[in-house]
C-alpha cells in the first residue's frame, strides 16, 4: 500500500518557517519516503515512548533533526519538524486528535497557557453591548475551536478590538487551527452561531475525517512535487499553497457557465485566478486557456506566479493583458488599421470642433464628447435607431429624442471618418473582434482578473472569446471597491449571467487590520453598498449591507500602524521618505520589497530621483522583478493587483487629480477615491502616506496615526 502524506497546516507551517533553508530538500525527501509502505533503515523510524500515537523519523544523516508524524489507515500526517530534543519535547506535550467537525489537529496534553488576567473581576467591568462574544456560552465557543473554557470566558469579556487582537495572536501561536480561526472571526462579524457549530452527528471513519480535514483546510496535501517545492521555497507566500476552502472551491469547481468570485483587497482573488488557471489547464489539457487582466504590470505578475505554480505547464496557458491582446489581434485580422488611444488626437482627426459647431452649437462640446465616449463608442451604437432606443446608462441627464436626432449626424460622421481613414478607437476594436470571434471562439476558457475595470466593449469581447454554451467558459474576479476605470453597470447589460455561480471571499490575508481600517475610511459604507448594487446581484447586495463590504482581516501589527505625514514642502517630504525607507530596511524589509507610489509619473520622478541618489539604489517599474539593489517606483494605476511588504504613497495631495475631475465630473471623483483606496491596500505590513499643504480631501478627519 502506498501511503498518502499530508501536513498539519497551522503547526507545521510554523516549524517550516524556522527550518534552516539547507534542510528543506531533506524534508522533501522524507515526504517522498513516507509514501513507501516499508520505511528504509536510514530514516531511523521509531514509535515515541512518551506518546505511542506519534512516529518519528530522521530528517537527514547530520543535523539531528526529527520529523514527527501520525499514521491512520492509509494516511501519514506530518505534524512537526525540529531539532532532536525539541521535536521529542513537542511530541510529549501534544497529541493527535479529531474534533467534533471531524478535523484533525494536534492538541496540548496539558491545559493551554492561561489567558491574560484582569485587575478586577471581569463581571464587574464588562459592558455586554460592547463584547461580541458575551452572548455565547463557554461550551459553544470551545466547540468552535477555543482551546479551553478559561480562554472562552476571557474572549466573552473582550471588546471588539481586544477580541480581534486575541484571535490573531492565538492563530499566530497555533493555539487555534486555521478553520477554527475562520469560524470564530465570522462569529465576531455577526455570522449566526448555528451555522458555525459542528453537525449534530458525525460518524466518520478516520480516513474520511482526514479527507474532510484536507477539504476544510486543517490539513494540506500537496497536489504534486512542484507544490511541495513551492511550499518549501516560498514559506512566506501563502498563495502558492494554502487556499482556504472558499478559495479552493472557487478555483477548482466545475461551473455550468460564466462564474464570478468577488472580494475585497487581500482576499485572494488573484490567487484564485492563478489556481483556477492551473485547474483548467489540467481539466482541458488539449484546449487553449486565456488568463487576462486590465494592466500590463498585473499581467506580468500573473505570468510570474503561473510559472512558479505550473512550471513548464504554464507554457500551455496564454497570459496577456487585454489591451495588448486587442492590439495584436487587430494587427492580425485588420491589417493596416491604426488604433487611436489619445483623445485630443482623435478629436483632431475627425474634426470634432467643426462637427460640434455645425450640428449642435447649443450644447457644450464637453457634453457632446462625453455622449460619444460614454454612450455611442462605449456601447458600440451603430445606427440612429439604436441610439434613440438606448437607455444611456450612467449619463444621469435625460436626453429627449429630438436632441438625439440632432446629435446623431455628429457621431455618424465621426464613425465614417474613422472607417474611411482605417482608424479605430479601442472600444470599436473590441466590438469588431467580438463580431469576428463569436462564431468561432479562440479559447475554451477565459479567466479575467480585476474584471470590474472592464467596460461594455471589453466585456462583450471577453464573452465572445469562449463558447457560450460550454461549462467553465468564463471566470471573472471582481472587487467593485477598486473600480478605477470603467463605470459600474449591471452585468446583465453585457449578457453575462452568473446567478448561482458566484463565490465571495471574506478573509483578508494580505493587509494588517490597521492598514485595512485606514484604507476603508477613504470609502463610505454607503458608497460600498452602491458599488455592490452595481453588480446586479441581490445576494451580494444583502451581504454588503450586513457586512459593509468589508473583508475580515487576519493579520495584526499594532507596533507599525499606518503613518500619515504632513510636510511643509516637497524637499521635506523627500527627506522624510528617505528616513522611512531606511527604517524599513533596518527592520528587515528588503529594498525590493518596498514600493513608492504617486498619482502622476511627473511627481514620482521629482521625488524619487533624490531618494535613489541618497540610498544608492535604482528604480524598478511594477510588474518587473526588482533586484536587491532596486526599489519599486510607479504610479498608483500601475500597482493595481500587486502587493509589497511596504508601500509609501507620496504627494497624496494630488488625490483627487483636479484636471481629471474637472473634465470627467463626479464619476471621476469616485474613481479617484477608489484609486487611493487601491494604492493603500497594496502593502502587507507597512503603509506610509505623505503630502504637502492641507490634509488631502479623502484623508480629512481620519483618525489614522499621524506623525
Q: Which residue has the higher pLDDT, 408 or 263?
A: 408
Q: Are residues 639 and 683 in the same domain?
A: yes
- 44 domain-assigned: yes
> Using an 8 Å Cβ cutoff, are 261 and 478 in contact?
yes
> Using an 8 Å Cβ cutoff, are 269 and 449 in contact?
yes
Over the stretch 13-39, which tens digit does the pLDDT of each residue have?
A: 788 888 898 898 899 999 999 999 999
Q: Are residues 60 and 147 in the same domain?
A: no
Over the stretch 377-398, which tens digit does the pLDDT of each residue have?
A: 999 999 999 999 988 755 656 7
- The pTM for the full model equals 0.72
Q: What are the C-alpha distances in Å from 150 to residues 101, 107, 198, 457? A: 21, 16, 21, 59
- 680 domain-assigned: yes
Which of 554, 572, 603 delimits the end of a domain? 554
Q: How confident is the model at residue 114 (pLDDT cuts 50, 70, 90)?
A: confident
Q: Cβ contacts of residue 190 below 8 Å, gap of 6+?
A: 546, 547
- 68 domain-assigned: yes
Q: Are residues 570 and 693 in the same domain?
A: yes
Find the Cα–Cα–Cα–Cα dihedral 147, 153, 159, 165, rounded to 10°.
Answer: -20
Q: Are residues 139 and 250 in the same domain?
A: no
pLDDT attached to residue 435: 96
- 431 domain-assigned: no
Q: Are residues 491 and 608 in the same domain?
A: no
Residue 284 has pLDDT above 90, yes or no: yes
Range of the domain at 403: 338-421
Residue 232 has pLDDT above 70, yes or no: yes
What is the strand order of the sheet 75-82 is part of? 46-47, 54-58, 66-72, 75-82, 4-8, 219-220
pLDDT attached to residue 122: 45
Specify the CATH number for the domain of residue 83. Answer: 3.30.2310.20
> CA 309 to CA 301: how far, in whole Å?
12
pLDDT attached to residue 544: 52
Residue 443 has pLDDT above 70, yes or no: yes
> CA 414 to CA 392: how far, in whole Å?
19
Q: Are residues 477 and 548 in the same domain?
A: yes
Residue 652 has pLDDT above 90, yes or no: yes
CA-nearest of 29, 12, 113 to 70 is 12
pLDDT attached to residue 487: 58
Residue 534 has pLDDT above 70, yes or no: no
Q: Residues 546, 549, 553, CA angle at the centre, nearest 5°?
A: 105
Over the stretch 36-94, which tens digit does the pLDDT of each residue have?
A: 999 999 999 999 987 889 999 999 999 999 999 999 989 999 999 999 999 999 999 99
Q: Are residues 494 and 588 in the same domain?
A: no
Provide mean pLDDT across the span 582-596: 94
pLDDT attached to residue 413: 96
Q: Are residues 53 and 84 in the same domain?
A: yes
Q: Which residue has the higher pLDDT, 204 or 371?
A: 371
> Using an 8 Å Cβ cutoff, are 102 and 75 in contact?
no
Average pLDDT, the chain: 86
Of the given ranges (16-25, 283-292, 585-594), which has the lowest mean pLDDT?
16-25
Over the stretch 171-199, which tens digit does the pLDDT of each residue have?
A: 877 788 878 888 898 888 788 898 888 87
Provide mean pLDDT across the span 418-447: 96
pLDDT attached to residue 263: 83
Q: Which residue has the higher pLDDT, 199 or 267?
A: 267
pLDDT attached to residue 703: 46
pLDDT attached to residue 687: 97
Of the given ranges (45-49, 489-493, 628-632, 645-649), which has the lowest mean pLDDT?
489-493
- 24 domain-assigned: yes
Q: Are residues 580 and 692 in the same domain?
A: yes
Q: Are residues 567 and 671 in the same domain?
A: yes
Helix, strand, or coil here: 319?
A: strand
pLDDT attached to residue 669: 82
Specify the CATH number for the domain of residue 640. Answer: 3.40.50.300
> CA 323 to CA 91: how far, in whole Å?
56
Q: Are residues 377 and 481 in the same domain?
A: no
Q: How many domains does the chain have?
A: 5
pLDDT attached to residue 144: 94
Sign for the CA dihedral angle at 460, 465, 471, 472 comes to: negative
Residue 704 has pLDDT above 50, yes or no: no
Pairing of strands 46-47, 4-8: unpaired
Of the given ranges (12-16, 337-341, 418-422, 542-546), which has the lowest mean pLDDT?
542-546
Q: Are residues 570 and 683 in the same domain?
A: yes
pLDDT attached to residue 526: 60
- 229 domain-assigned: no
pLDDT attached to residue 659: 79
- 633 domain-assigned: yes
Q: How confident is the model at residue 491 (pLDDT cuts 50, 70, 90)?
A: low
- 629 domain-assigned: yes
pLDDT attached to residue 119: 43
Provide mean pLDDT across the span 522-535: 59
DSSP 696: P
Count CB neighbours of 130 within 10 A. Answer: 14
Residue 536 has pLDDT above 60, yes or no: no
Q: Which residue has the higher pLDDT, 426 or 495?
A: 426
Sign for the CA dihedral angle at 360, 363, 368, 374 comes to: negative
Provide mean pLDDT across the span 533-540: 52
Amino acid at each position: 500500500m502506498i501511503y498518502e502524506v499530508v501536513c498539519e497546516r497551522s503547526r507545521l507551517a510554523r516549524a517550516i518557517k524556522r527550518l534552516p533553508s539547507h534542510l528543506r530538500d531533506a524534508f522533501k525527501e522524507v515526504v517522498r519516503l513516507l509514501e513507501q509502505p516499508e520505511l528504509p533503515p536510514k530514516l531511523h523510524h521509531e514509535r515515541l515512548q512518551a506518546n505511542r500515537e506519534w512516529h518519528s523519523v530522521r530528517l537527514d544523516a547530520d543535523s539531528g533533526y526529527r520529523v514527527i508524524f501520525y499514521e491512520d489507515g492509509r494516511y501519514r500526517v506530518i505534524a512537526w519538524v525540529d531539532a532532536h530534543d525539541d521535536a521529542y519535547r513537542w511530541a510529549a506535550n501534544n497529541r493527535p486528535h479529531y474534533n467534533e467537525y471531524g478535523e484533525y489537529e494536534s492538541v496540548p496534553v496539558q491545559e493551554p497557557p492561561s489567558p491574560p488576567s484582569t485587575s478586577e473581576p471581569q463581571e464587574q467591568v464588562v459592558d455586554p453591548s460592547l463584547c461580541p462574544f458575551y452572548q455565547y456560552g463557554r461550551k459553544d465557543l470551545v466547540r468552535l475551536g477555543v482551546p479551553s473554557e478559561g480562554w472562552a470566558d476571557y474572549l466573552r469579556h473582550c471588546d471588539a478590538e481586544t477580541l480581534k487582537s486575541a484571535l490573531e495572536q492565538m492563530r499566530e501561536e497555533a493555539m487555534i487551527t486555521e478553520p477554527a480561526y475562520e469560524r470564530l472571526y465570522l462569529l465576531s462579524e455577526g455570522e449566526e452561531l448555528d451555522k458555525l457549530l459542528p453537525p449534530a452527528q458525525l460518524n466518520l471513519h478516520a480516513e474520511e475525517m482526514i479527507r474532510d480535514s484536507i477539504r476544510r483546510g486543517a490539513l494540506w496535501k500537496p497536489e504534486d512535487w512542484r507544490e511541495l517545492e513551492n511550499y518549501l521555497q516560498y514559506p512566506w507566500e501563502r498563495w502558492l499553497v494554502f487556499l482556504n476552502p472558499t478559495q479552493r472551491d472557487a478555483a477548482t469547481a466545475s461551473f455550468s457557465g460564466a462564474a464570478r468570485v468577488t472580494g475585497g483587497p487581500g482576499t485572494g482573488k488573484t490567487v484564485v485566478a492563478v489556481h483556477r488557471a492551473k485547474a483548467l489547464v489540467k481539466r482541458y489539457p488539449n484546449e487553449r486557456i486565456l488568463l487576462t487582466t486590465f494592466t500590463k504590470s498585473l499581467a506580468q505578475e500573473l505570468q510570474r506566479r503561473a510559472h512558479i505554480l505550473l512550471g513548464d505547464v504554464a507554457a500551455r496557458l496564454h497570459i496577456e493583458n487585454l489591451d495588448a491582446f486587442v492590439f495584436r489581434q487587430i494587427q492580425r485580422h485588420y491589417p493596416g488599421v491604426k488604433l487611436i488611444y489619445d483623445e485630443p488626437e482623435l478629436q483632431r482627426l475627425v474634426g470634432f470642433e467643426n462637427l460640434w459647431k455645425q450640428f449642435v452649437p447649443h450644447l457644450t462640446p464637453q457634453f457632446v464628447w462625453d455622449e460619444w465616449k460614454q454612450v455611442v463608442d462605449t456601447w458600440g451604437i451603430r445606427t440612429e435607431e439604436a441610439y434613440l432606443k438606448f437607455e444611456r446608462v450612467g449619463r444621469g441627464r435625460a436626453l429627449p429624442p429630438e436632441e438625439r436626432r440632432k446629435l446623431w449626424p455628429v457621431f455618424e460622421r465621426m464613425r465614417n471618418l474613422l472607417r474611411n481613414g482605417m482608424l479605430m478607437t479601442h472600444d470599436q476594436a473590441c466590438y469588431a473582434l467580438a463580431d469576428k470571434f463569436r462564431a468561432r471562439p479562440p479559447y475554451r476558457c477565459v479567466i479575467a482578473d480585476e474584471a470590474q475595470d472592464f467596460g461594455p466593449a471589453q466585456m462583450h469581447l471577453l464573452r465572445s472569446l469562449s463558447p457560450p454554451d460550454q461549462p467553465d467558459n468564463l471566470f471573472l474576479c471582481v472587487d467593485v471597491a477598486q473600480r478605477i476605470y470603467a463605470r459600474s453597470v449591471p452585468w446583465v447589460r453585457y449578457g453575462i449571467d452568473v446567478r448561482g455561480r458566484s463565490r465571495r471571499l471574506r478573509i483578508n490575508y494580505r493587509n494588517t487590520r490597521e492598514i485595512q481600517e485606514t484604507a476603508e475610511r477613504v470609502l463610505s459604507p454607503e458608497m460600498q453598498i452602491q458599488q455592490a448594487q452595481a453588480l446586479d446581484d441581490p445576494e451580494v447586495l444583502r451581504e454588503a449591507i450586513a457586512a459593509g463590504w468589508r473583508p475580515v482581516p487576519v493579520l495584526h501589527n499594532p507596533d507599525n500602524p499606518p503613518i500619515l505625514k504632513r510636510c511643509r514642502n516637497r524637499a521635506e517630504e523627500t527627506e522624510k521618505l528617505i528616513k522611512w525607507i531606511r527604517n524599513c530596511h533596518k527592520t528587515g524589509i528588503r529594498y525590493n520589497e518596498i514600493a513608492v507610489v504617486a498619482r502622476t509619473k511627473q511627481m514620482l520622478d521629482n521625488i524619487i530621483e533624490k531618494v535613489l541618489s541618497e540610498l544608492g539604489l535604482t528604480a524598478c517599474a511594477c510588474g518587473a522583478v526588482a533586484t536587491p539593489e532596486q526599489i519599486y517606483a510607479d504610479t498608483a494605476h500601475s500597482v493595481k493587483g500587486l502587493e509589497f511588504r511596504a508601500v509609501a504613497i507620496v504627494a497624496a495631495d494630488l488625490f483627487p487629480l483636479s484636471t481629471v475631475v474637472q473634465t470627467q465630473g463626479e464619476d471621476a471623483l469616485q474613481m479617484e477615491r477608489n484609486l487611493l483606496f487601491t494604492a493603500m491596500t497594496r502593502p502587507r505590513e507597512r503603509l506610509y502616506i505623505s503630502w504637502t499643504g492641507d490634509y488631502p480631501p479623502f484623508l480629512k478627519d481620519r483618525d489614522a496615526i499621524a506623525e
